[in-house]
């Protein structure tokens, strides 16, 4: 994927960004830190070249491998529900284009992200490097197992976990186990794309959670293992 130089992005995009921010506010996004992060991350760098004219529309766009970059309202809603602090360590399951990760990187101390499609991960890493997002660590792996122990070092627990694919019934236990006590996980849940609900889990103890519904959503299913195209 060819990445435009962010230092020479068209000035007209600024007007499109501002319209998007105003639209998100009208649709109920009130967290100024979240809106600021969205304003500062150039979405056009994360979308396919042939869809640049739609980069700031409030719609999901295909990015290949049967995956999408989520619509800005969904990104904003999930980010706002996470309530990320600047000292938080965040785990993201499903790097995709890298757009959600880039937004979160503006809000947290450190972001760890897992993608099962290696080509998507490579594209996302290229964008992270281009934007000089130094607090993101990205790997190709099975996100349903959580963040692996690497060189004898475990990064768990995480204060926040975000899952950008739909789990059946509930999030995988391995992810719940990696959530810090008092931490928050945001994850879409549903048996099919027609009955998915974005849910917020707050860990009260090792086996007790406060669970609340946020809104209906439509995500690709959460799948195990590394994809064959990796």
State the catalytic residues: 70
List, in sequence order, the alpha helices (H) in 41-189: 72-82, 99-105, 118-130, 173-177
Give dist(CA 167, CA 56) in Å, integer. Answer: 28
CB 163 within 8 A of CB 145: no
Structural Rg of the chain based on CA atoms: 17
Tokens representing 68?
A: 């999408």
**Which among 153, 173, 183, 167 is positioned nearest to 91, based on CA atoms?**
183
């Amino acid at each position: 994927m060819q990445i435009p130089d962010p230092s020479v992005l068209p000035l007209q995009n600024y007007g499109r960004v501002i319209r998007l921010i105003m639209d998100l506010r009208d649709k109920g996004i009130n967290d100024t830190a979240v809106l600021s992060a969205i304003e500062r991350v150039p979405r056009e760098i994360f979308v396919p070249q042939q869809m640049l004219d739609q980069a700031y529309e409030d719609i999901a766009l295909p990015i290949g491998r049967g995956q999408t970059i989520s619509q800005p309202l969904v990104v904003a809603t999930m980010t706002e529900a996470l309530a990320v602090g600047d000292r938080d360590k965040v785990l993201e399951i499903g790097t995709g284009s890298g757009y959600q990760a880039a937004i979160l990187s503006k809000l947290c101390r450190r972001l760890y992200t897992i993608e099962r499609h290696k080509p998507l991960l490579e594209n996302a890493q290229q964008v992270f490097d281009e934007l000089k997002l130094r607090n993101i660590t990205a790997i190709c792996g099975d996100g349903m197992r959580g963040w692996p122990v690497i060189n004898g070092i475990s990064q768990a627990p995480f204060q926040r976990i975000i899952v950008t694919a739909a789990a059946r019934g509930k999030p995988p236990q391995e992810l719940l186990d990696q959530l810090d006590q008092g931490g928050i996980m945001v994850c879409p849940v549903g048996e099919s794309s027609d009955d998915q609900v974005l849910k917020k889990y707050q860990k009260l103890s090792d086996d007790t959670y406060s669970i609340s519904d946020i809104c209906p959503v439509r995500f690709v299913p959460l799948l195990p293992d590394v994809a064959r195209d990796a």
